[in-house]
Amino acid sequence: MKQKITPNNREVKLADDEFIVSKTDIKGRITYCNRVFMKIAGYSEKELLNTQHNVVRHPDMPRSVFRFLWQTLEQGQEFFGFVKNMTSDGSYYWVFANVTPDYDRNGDLKGYFSVRRKPKQAAIDALTPVYQEMLAIEQRVGPREGDG
């Protein structure tokens, strides 16, 4: 079960040359995480492995962004997008994420591979009010309607 973390206003930033890498199974449970992921998110490998990737989901992220991500992946396409994540202590970090379906040798889906990097600040500045408006709409109409 995901522990309750209270978000705070402290930002953690990736270095320009750092990449967060993770793999998940088809249900979104983490099967691999690199050291940068552990360092930035503030979790140990043991805490992350076999845990739902949404352990780092920040409440400022609109649900519809993740719905679009999953729809894109279910179509066998890769997803690119900006994501605000939350660390184990409630801090936040922004990433530009690339999530790709991962297939075995027989062509069967076995999970997802994700590489995240530091986004340009101008992109975050432009996107933040858009995400805030999306979140406000979702809160107004409720979770079911807000995902559409």
Does position 74 have pLDDT exceeding 50, yes or no? yes
* Cα three-residue angle 130-135-136, rounded to 5 degrees: 100
Structure tokens at 83: 């994501």
The domain spans of the chain are 19-146
Q: How confident is the model at residue 108 (pLDDT cuts 50, 70, 90)?
A: very high
Q: How confident is the model at residue 4 (pLDDT cuts 50, 70, 90)?
A: confident
Q: Which architecture characterizes domain 19-146 according to CATH? A: 2-Layer Sandwich (3.30)
Assess contact for 69 and 46: CB atoms under 8 A.
no
